Amino acid sequence: VQLQASGGGLVQPGGSLRLSCTGSAMTLDSYAINWFRQAPGKEREGISCISSTTDMTYYANSVKGRFTISRDNAKNTVHLQMNSLKPGDTAVYYCYADRIIDTDSGWHREDYWGQGTQVTVSS
């Protein structure tokens, strides 16, 4: 089981990037998928989430109106479309998948982190 984030790069202020979070040996539509980011010297920040059953979405105030999270179930991928990028968006971006599963021993959280992808916004 593996979660992989991709799509980062260098972009000028005002530009756009689309990040992808892809699952291997796991079906992403059964997980809530979160995007976090961590800038140098700062704590990891949760910026967006899409729920597993209703596809409800959440955005941090810092990205609301500029970023859009969506699922492509045919490709087992969750995208984060990032528009109007600012230098303050520079960070390593991570995707995180989690769900609660019912086992013989009770309810358990099953979660996975993808490796980070670097986003740099600079002129």
Angle at the Cα of 29 from the Cα atoms of 62 and 8, rounded to 5 degrees:
45
Average model confidence (pLDDT) for the chain? Answer: 96
Distance CA 50, CA 68 (A): 10
1, pLDDT greater than 90: no
- Rounded to the nearest 10°, the torsion over CA 82, 87, 88, 90 is 70
Distance CA 99, CA 68 (A): 21
Question: What would the mean pLDDT of 55-63 be, rounded to a whole number?
Answer: 96
103, pLDDT greater than 90: no
